[in-house]
Each structure stands twice: as structure tokens, then as C-alpha cells.
Structure 1
């Protein structure tokens, strides 16, 4: 019985263990960078939330890649039964659901849209990390920080002058 249980943890992955750890760690790090900016602004969805969203997206991506690599094929036609593109739809829909919950409207006042957008973006960053497109994930994170932090700094004086 113990052999059967230990075999469950020893199933070979299509990717080397170190690559999997790197991809997951990058998702946590890059999601954390965006979450840190939200945390500094005292938003409900901050550091930990963004890190977990990015990590979850990377995890789902790795699971989908494993399923594609180990999925049995249809007899005769050579096509796989799994569709990795459904993963993108599922992550997008799931994170959009969370993000929508962060948006609060009260009359003409709307709060949480930027936080919701950053949560959705962290899902995309996690997908990038999960597929191994770490360069794209880093570029997107840098651009997101530019939008979240630097643009606010540059536009603050202009927006105050208009009031």
C-alpha cells in the first residue's frame, strides 16, 4: 500500500522539477510585484491576493501541459483529447470573477477597477510563467508597474490642476 501511495508522488513530469519550481516562483514573484503596488495603496486585493492569482494561473497552466503530454490519444486520428486553449478561457473567467468582486459602485463613484484589472493581469502573467514564457511575463510586469506607479506619479500634478 505504501508503494502505491509513494508512486503517486513519483509520477514523472514532462518538465524537469527545477523548471517547474522556477516557473511557479516567477509567477509568485511577478504577481507579488504588482500586488505590492496595490498593497501600498491599501487595496483589499493586495500582495498575497495577486501572488496567489498568478501562482494559481501558473499551476493550472502546468497541469494542462502535463495533461496534454500524458493524455491518451484517439485511436486512428492522432488528435489529443485535451484542449490547452480551454485553460486560458478558464483562468480568464475565474480571475475575472474575482476581479469583478473587487469593484464597488456607489452612485457615480466607482472603486476597485484598477485592482480588478491588475488581478486579471496577474492571471495572464501566471499563464506566461506556466508556459515558460518568462520574458513575456517580466515585460508585462514591468509595463504594469509603469502603468500603476509611474503614470500616477506623472499625471498626479495634471489631475490636481484640473480640479
Structure 2
């Protein structure tokens, strides 16, 4: 019974990570960015899942007496997540004509969603909620301030003119 409770707790954590990252992704979606609501939700949930199953995997290897063959290092798991999510983020970066590059903020936001998922997986809920609010502040308020002070016009992917 305890095993089922642990698994349900993991599902609960994944759901929390997906909701928080969905909030982040919603902001990107509203701007018509290539990685929006669903992508951020999936990245946050997948990050939480991968980190959450690490400890049971280590326990499984110990029971199978495979710890002499397989060395476990949770930090390597985090490195793999960063590389994998960075690869997905790189796909959102588009180099236009001249020096125009778009998608960098979206790529960085995906990496941030990964961090939210990891924070939830290790039960750092206050940090997860706090950084979700921080990234919303950066992506919404700081973007508005940046547009106001640079006075550049830009047409977003969804065809809406906005101050850049």
C-alpha cells in the first residue's frame, strides 16, 4: 500500500509542476510563441517525473544488487535534463534576416520550466511557486518596460504590433 501512496504522491507532484509550468506557458501562448502552454506543461511534468523516479530507480538497483556495476549520480541526471531541454529550446530560436533573432526568451523560459519541475519533484514547493511568479514578472512586466523604454515597433508572430 505504501508503494501506491508514493506513486500517487509522484503523480500529484507532476500535476503541480504541470500546472505551474502551464501558467508560464500561457503567457508565451498569448504572444504566439512557438513553445507555449502545452510545451511548458510537458517539460515541467517530464522534468518532475524524471527527477521523481530517480530515487526509486536507485533503490531498485540496490535491491537487484547492481550498485557495484552501475554508479548512480543524481547530478548527472540534472545535466542530462539541461542538455535535453536546451535542445528543445534551440528549436524555438529563429535567426531572421540581418541580426534579428527571435525565440531566445521562449527557449530560456523552457529551461526555467524544467527548473520548476525539478523544484516540485524535490518538494521545494515555495521555490517552485516563487520562481513561477518571478518568470511571469520577467516575461510580462519587464517585457512591457523594455518595450516602453526602447520605443521600437515589432510585429509578433500572431500579427499584433507591439512595442519592442
Partner of 1:160: 151
Partner of 1:116: 107
Deviations 1:5-35 (A, max 9, x none): xxxxx8936x624421221111101110110
1:151 corresponds, among 134, 142, 147, to 142
- The CA deviation at 1:123 is 0.9
Map 1:65-104 → 2, pairs under 5 A: 65-72=55-62, 81-104=71-94
Structure 2: tracts of 5 or more residues without a match? 153-163
- Structure 1-normalised TM-score? 0.82
Q: Whole-Å Cα distance in 2 between the matches of residues 99 and 139 of structure 1?
A: 22
Q: Whole-Å Cα distance in 2 between the matches of residues 100 and 145 of structure 1?
A: 21
SS of the equivalent of 1:72 reads helix
- Structure 2-normalised TM-score? 0.81
Structure 1: tracts of 5 or more residues without a match? 1-9
Q: Whole-Å Cα distance in 1 between the matches of residues 42 and 129 of structure 2?
A: 17
Partner of 1:4: none
- The CA deviation at 1:69 is 3.0
> 2:127 aligned with 1:136, yes or no?
yes
Closer, same or farther: CA 108–23 of 1 in aligned 2, 3 Å: same
**Number of matched pairs:** 151
TM-align CA RMSD? 2.7
> 2:30 aligned with 1:40, yes or no?
yes
Partner of 2:44: 54
Q: Whole-Å Cα distance in 1 between the matches of residues 84 and 146 of structure 2?
A: 32
- The CA deviation at 1:73 is 7.3
Partner of 1:127: 118
1:73–1:81 CA contact under 8 A, matched in 2: no
Q: Whole-Å Cα distance in 2 between the matches of residues 22 and 11 of structure 1?
A: 15
